[in-house]
Chains A and B, each alone.
Chain A
Amino acid sequence: MSDRIVVLGAGMHPWGKWGKSFIEYGVVAAKAALKDAGVAWKDVDFVSGAATMRNGYPGYVPGATFAKALGWNGAQIASSYAACASGVQAIAAARAQLLAGLCDVALVVGSDTTPKGFLAATTDDPDDPNWMRFRAVGATNPSYFGLYARRRMAEHGSTRADFAAVKVKNSRHGLTNPYARYRKAFTKEQVLGAKIVSDPLGLLDICATSDGAAALILCREETAKKFSGNPVTIAGVSTVTPQFPDLWLDMPNFATDSAFAVRTPARSFRDSIARTALEEAGVEPGDLDLAEVYDLSTALELNWYENIGLCEPGGAEAMLHDGQTTHGGSCVVNPSGGLACFGEAVPAQAIAQVCEVAWQLRGDAGDRQVEGARAGVTGNQGLFGHGSSVVLTK
């Protein structure tokens, strides 16, 4: 049995604020992925759902929710939650089932509806640190992004104009992406002129929250031959956690670990996320043609260049301004437009990243196509210590 797992089909529901049920979005994405793969729903024997905390009980049990919505077919299921990393947990669960030979065709689905404005606590429980951080400190998600951005400025001399250039790039990348919510080119002046949310980040530096859904059909390489879809190899998957002590102030924590007794690990958490998947894949950062990374803020995209290993720490601004991360450059970062153009739909986003890389490697990305793309990576981090990365190769 081949141990090569492929993406045979990918599908999305467009991102936006549609005011409908997350189940409807997920079904649209799932049907699109099935069609893309040339697979019939009756042939799916494993459904792996990425959970949402904002849609009541059906959101906690997405495996069953989508199996039922598509019409019960007796498939086995799993439901995964890992905050922003939920999608890759669902991919990892499906891949493990396929590798073990326990299923033949897996459907992975993530879908969400989000409130306007800040993502908020999902419980009213003072024992939940995700509640207490709002109550005791007023630490919103953008305030963590602001802390990271200001830290980057202090460490590497980055400027607000550097951050703005990320938004300018991503807004151009996503201009014609039919699944993107925001399809408008922004200038540096517009980004710099937007109201500050959490200094040094303004409204156009921080990603919005959106409704959206994404789905994948996964199977073993030899199974793919039975269907019409155009397969792309999943060469590595990472769901790593930090190594103690984690000295990055992760959302929603009040404090980092203490390095009193144990020194900083050789590799920081953020550095370990994509590199773990790259090492499994045997792909060097320099071999990557594209990367879809979590630009929760413009500044954070620059951190990813370094975390993935595209450049040395402090080298991201030069890479960006040199055009290395846009079309024609060495590694196009966020050719989809990224979160800057999508806004975040939490459990769908990591799956959407994989959809984009798969389409790019197939040459199906239309006028946002990365020329000659052969290898791509996704990078993402979920709160409470969830790493998320997938390496795909042609």
Chain B
Amino acid sequence: MGSRPVVEGWFSEGEEPALTGSRCTQCGTFAFPKQLAFCSNPHCDCDEIEEASLSRRGTIWSYTNSMYKPPHPYVAGDDFKPYALAAVELEHEKMVIVGQVAAGVAYESLAVGDEVELVIERLFSDDDGDVVTWKWRPVAEGASS
């Protein structure tokens, strides 16, 4: 059984996965999720917007966790495990994007300002296999970028 993304077209997989956003070809404004029909900058009347792979690394703007099982359509199964969330600031795109924190990361180790990178990980499993999503994982100190 293979894995499939929780939503089509929002991220790339492979060795260097990235979120797939959009970028205005005129003013450079980014958006996530991608919006290809218009630019959200009110001073820009460009309608040529291209897909853009967003920066894989950023710094934690804030973080929290979910200690209670969220409602549908979150799929928790019978063995709900609390998870952490991080809102991450991308320096180049100058925006903040939220995602879960990668499994196995000690919540107590998180701190605002820490560097994280994007990974694709299992979110839940069903009869057809694993469903994966984007998550943020702290970059080990001293790791090369």
- A interface residue numbers (CB < 8 A to B): 117-118, 120-121, 124, 126, 129, 131-132, 134-140, 142-143, 146-151, 154, 195-201, 244-245, 247, 249, 254-262
In the complex, whether B104 has a CB less than 8 A from a CB of chain A is no
Give me 29 A-to-B residue pairs in the complex whose CB atoms sit less than 8 angstroms apart, sorted by A's number: A121-B73, A131-B73, A134-B72, A135-B6, A136-B7, A136-B10, A137-B99, A138-B74, A138-B83, A143-B66, A143-B85, A147-B61, A147-B64, A147-B85, A150-B112, A151-B61, A195-B67, A245-B41, A249-B96, A249-B98, A254-B32, A255-B21, A255-B97, A257-B40, A258-B29, A258-B30, A258-B31, A261-B24, A261-B43
Contact A256 B72 (CB under 8 A): no
8 Å CB interface, B21-65 against A? 21, 24, 27-33, 40-44, 61-65
Which chain A residues lie closer than 8 Å to B41 at the CB level?
244-245, 261-262
In the complex, whether B87 has a CB less than 8 A from a CB of chain A is yes
A297 to B9, CA, bound (A): 34
Q: Of the candidates B29, B65, B113, which one forms a contact with A260 in the assembled complex, judged by CB atoms under 8 Å apart?
A: B29
- B interface residue numbers (CB < 8 A to A): 6-7, 10, 21, 24, 27-33, 40-44, 61-68, 70-75, 83, 85, 87, 92-100, 107, 112-113, 123, 133-134
A154 to B63, CA, bound (A): 10
Which chain B residues lie closer than 8 Å to A134 at the CB level?
70-74
Q: Of the candidates A137, A154, A200, A256, which one forms a contact with B100 in the assembled complex, judged by CB atoms under 8 Å apart?
A: A137
A254 to B99, CA, bound (A): 8
Contact B74 A254 (CB under 8 A): no
Contact A138 B40 (CB under 8 A): no
A150 to B98, CA, bound (A): 14
Not counting A147-B61, A196-B65, a sample of 20 additional A-B residue pairs whose C-beta atoms are within 8 angstroms of each other reads A118-B68, A132-B7, A134-B72, A135-B74, A138-B66, A138-B100, A146-B85, A147-B64, A150-B112, A154-B62, A195-B67, A198-B67, A245-B29, A247-B96, A258-B93, A261-B44, A262-B27, A262-B29, A262-B41, A262-B43
A117 to B67, CA, bound (A): 13
Most buried by B among A120, A129, A262: A262
Contact B94 A259 (CB under 8 A): yes
Which chain A residues lie closer than 8 Å to B28 at the CB level?
260-261
Which chain B residues lie closer than 8 Å to A147 at the CB level?
61-64, 85, 87, 98
Contact A137 B62 (CB under 8 A): no
Minimum CB–CB distance for A157 against chain B, Å = 12
Which chain B residues lie closer than 8 Å to A259 at the CB level?
94-95
Looking across the interface, which residue of chain A has its beta carbon closest to that of B92?
A260
A264 to B80, CA, bound (A): 39
Contact B70 A138 (CB under 8 A): yes
| CB within 8 Å: A-B pair count | 154
Contact B67 A197 (CB under 8 A): yes
A244 to B43, CA, bound (A): 9
Contact B98 A254 (CB under 8 A): yes
Which chain A residues lie closer than 8 Å to B112 at the CB level?
150-151, 154
Which chain A residues lie closer than 8 Å to B29 at the CB level?
245, 257-258, 260-262
Q: Of the candidates B61, B64, B133, which one forms a contact with A136 in the assembled complex, judged by CB atoms under 8 Å apart?
A: B133
Which chain B residues lie closer than 8 Å to A118 at the CB level?
68, 70-71
Contact B123 A136 (CB under 8 A): yes
Looking across the interface, which residue of chain A has its beta carbon closest to that of B65?
A199
Which chain A residues lie closer than 8 Å to B44 at the CB level?
261
Minimum CB–CB distance for B133 against chain A, Å = 5
Contact A117 B33 (CB under 8 A): no
Which chain A residues lie closer than 8 Å to B6 at the CB level?
135-136
A261 to B23, CA, bound (A): 11
Known: A120-B71, A138-B70. A258 touches B64 (CB 8 A): no
A137 to B121, CA, bound (A): 12
A136 to B100, CA, bound (A): 9
Which chain B residues lie closer than 8 Å to A199 at the CB level?
64-65, 67, 107
Contact B33 A254 (CB under 8 A): yes
A117 to B69, CA, bound (A): 10
Looking across the interface, which residue of chain B has its beta carbon closest to that of A120?
B71
Contact A151 B66 (CB under 8 A): no
Q: Of the candidates A197, A244, A256, which one forms a contact with B42 in the assembled complex, judged by CB atoms under 8 Å apart?
A: A244
Q: Of the candidates B71, B96, B123, which one forms a contact with A255 in the assembled complex, judged by CB atoms under 8 Å apart?
A: B96
Most buried by B among A136, A196, A245: A136
Contact B93 A260 (CB under 8 A): yes
Contact B97 A198 (CB under 8 A): no
Looking across the interface, which residue of chain B has its beta carbon closest to that of A263?
B94
Which chain B residues lie closer than 8 Å to A117 at the CB level?
68, 71
